[in-house]
Amino acid sequence: MSEETLVCPNCESSAHVVLANTGQKVGTAVGGTIGAAAGYTGASAGAAAGAAIGSVVPVVGTVVGAIGGSLVGAITGFFTGAAVGNQVGEHVDRHVICECRCNRCGAVFEI
């Protein structure tokens, strides 16, 4: 699908036609979940760095630094995975599913 104007076959409107974003929603959720898991798993380096930085305050600083490093890894992984999953889902919606919805009359149609 290129940049052509989509027209609803029911009401002949082009201003209210949008691409159905089912793949985009699923891609964002799956990508975020996988990214968070990967980020948390790979956060041992972040936890070690956080613990080293936090060791300025003995015991408490080390624990807080390790937890903070792990959380930063998981959050960064989540957002990175969600962004990638969103783009993959949009590509699937646009080039594989090819389903549009008219917000004016509610019609669902394929391109």
Percent of the chain predicted with pLDDT > 90 = 23
3-class secondary-structure state, position 47: helix
Please indicate whether residue 28 or residue 111 has the higher confidence score (pLDDT): 28
DSSP structural state of residue 19? E
pLDDT single digits (tens) 13-29:
888 888 888 899 999 99
Residue 108 gets the label, from left (phi > 0), alpha (psi -120 to 50) or beta, of beta
Average pLDDT (80-98) is 90
Distance CA 26, CA 87 (A): 11
pTM reported for the whole predicted model: 0.67
Lowest mean pLDDT among 9-13, 45-49, 92-96, 100-104: 45-49
Tokens 């003995």 correspond to 58
Give pLDDT, residue 3: 57
Give pLDDT, residue 83: 93
Give pLDDT, residue 30: 92
pLDDT single digits (tens) 28-59:
999 999 988 888 777 766 677 767 777 776 77
